[in-house]
Structure 1
Amino acid sequence: MKLNELGIRFSNEKLLTQALTHSSYANQQQGMESNEKLEFLGDAILQLCITRALYERGGSRSEGELTKIRALIVCEPSLYEVAQKWNLGRYILLSHGEEATGGRKRQSLLADAVEAVIAALYLDQGTEAADRLILEHFEDIIRRALNHEIVLDYKTRLQELLQESGEVNIHYDLVKFEGPAHRRKFFSRVAVDEITMGRGEGMSKKESEQEAARDALSKLALHREETL
């Protein structure tokens, strides 16, 4: 059995089947296991492979910079991009209900399946095979992340969250910038009604604003946990 888009044949076909089995389908089949545990393993394999690639290619970038770049690569939008390359929506096993509500195109579902396929290949053929798969199909994403061509849209998510209870005045301010023109770093803050919600830095004004929004989202999530 193989995914045509990958051209990889699995020795243990059950592993690939499990990687493509959503919990909605597994719950309707007696004795069938979903891809959730494989997803858990695949995330760790992907993190390690990408971390090593960035360590080798990161040049003089600091640990903090590399951590942020890794977050742009090992994230749902990037995994979804790979899922589309693999045409995973065609292969995933879903319940009728999940399929009827658009499961074959759902970003989170397909992103999870990519991690599960990575884990399945690791268990079937070992670390080298899994690393080859990752580096081949994430290569363009790695390149774009290193070149600061990928920015996650934390600003939109923050706006949606803050406006759930009505309109609020959200604005971003450039606090300062430093460094030479070819290596300039920008520092921004996001505020609501003049109250600072988050701060961020980046190699562009746009990136620093996204980091400020991410900081605000993290603080809001922590606040919600503390009040539960």
Structure 2
Amino acid sequence: MRLSKELRAFEQRIGYSFNQPELLMQAVTHASMSSPTRQDNQRLEFLGDRVLGLVMSTALLDADQDATEGQLAPRFNALVRKEACAEVAREIDLGAVLKLGRSEMMSGGRRKQALLGDAMEAVIAAVYKDAGFAAAQELILRLWGRRIYTVEEDARDPKTALQEWAQARGQKPPSYTEVSRSGPDHAPVFTIAVHLDDGRTAQAEAGSKRHAEQAAARLLLAEVETAGT
């Protein structure tokens, strides 16, 4: 099987060349494009999630020899959550090579956080199946990079941290509103806005209301902490 010019360029972006290019093709194929002759990436996503978890568990243990389980768990969650996978996917422009059905294409599938996160896990699994654990581990550690060593800040629950910030300044707890919901029932995308008493606001989207609220809180928290007020 010969890869397209776009997929060969993607291999260069991730620094890995597939021995079995059909694995990469499967990894970038969304369920909306599956057919009897074309497998989608859902099974690879399942596997990639487990490979990512093992790599990150090991990396966190190696990075901090003295951390307790209670300290490691939120760091782990911050590194493997769908938002983190989607962030890495955006950095390597994974969305540009996704194979999507017309409905997903029209609804902005290449930018959807849940879809990007799933595809990132599928790419990890494809590398694992192509060349084994060591190759997948090397890919993950390189793409996640310094996130592994700076994860403590990201490991905070952003909703709790934002509420504490507001209360410390005499404000009411932040409020959250659903701006919109799009996508099919099996893969919805929620856009949530968070508001502070002082008028500042931020919004984000994710595949669940909870994740969208957390992402919006994280954005607003970063804004207020940068402003220093």
Q: The TM-score by the shorter chain falls in which range? A: 0.5 to 0.7
Match of 1:165 in 2: none
Of 18, 22, 25, the match for 1:14: 22
What percentage of aligned pairs have identical amino acids?
33
1:89 aligns with 2:89: no
After superposition, residues 3-42 of structure 1 pair within 5 angstroms as: 3=10, 4-26=12-34, 29-42=35-48
Contact preservation (8 Å) 1:46, 1:134:
yes
Structure 2: state its 5+ residue gaps.
Answer: 163-173, 179-195, 197-216, 222-229
Contact 1:76–1:111, Cα closer than 8 Å, also in 2? yes
Aligned counterpart in structure 1 of residue 139 of structure 2, from 133, 138, 163: 133
Taking the aligned partners of 1:149 and 1:160, their CA distance within structure 2 comes to 20
* Higher Cα Rg, which structure: 1
Shift of 1:153: 3.8
The letter for the 1-side match of 2:32 is S
Question: Does the CA contact (< 8 Å) of 1:80 and 1:108 recur in 2?
Answer: yes
Amino acid at match of 1:138: W
Following the alignment from structure 1 to structure 2, what is the Cα–Cα distance between the partners of residues 69 and 103?
28
Deviation (angstroms), 1:122: 0.3
Given candidates 47, 51, 70, the residue that maps to 1:45 is 51
SS at match of 2:142: helix
2:44 maps to amino acid: L
Q: Which has the higher contact order (CA 8 A, sep 6+)?
A: 2
CA distance in 2, matches of 1:42, 1:91: 18
2:122 is matched with: 116
Q: Which amino acid aligns with 1:96?
A: R
Distance 2:149 2:61 in 1: 13
Show CA shifts across 1:48-106 (max 9, x none).
00000111112321101101110010011111110011100110000011010000000
Distance 2:159 2:100 in 1: 30
Superposition map of 1:97-116 within 5 A: 97-116=103-122
Q: Which one-letter code corresponds to 2:111 in the other structure?
A: K
Describe the superposition over 1:141-177 as per-residue Cα deviations: whole angstroms up to 9, x where unpaired: 112204x255454469x95489xxxxxxxx9xxxxxx
1:31 Cα deviation after fit: 2.6
Structure 1: segments with no counterpart, 5+ residues: 163-170, 172-205, 211-228
TM-score by length of 2: 0.65
Contact map agreement 1:49 1:134 (CA 8 A) in 2: yes
Q: In the TM superposition, what are the counterparts of 1:202-213 in structure 2 within 5 Å?
A: none
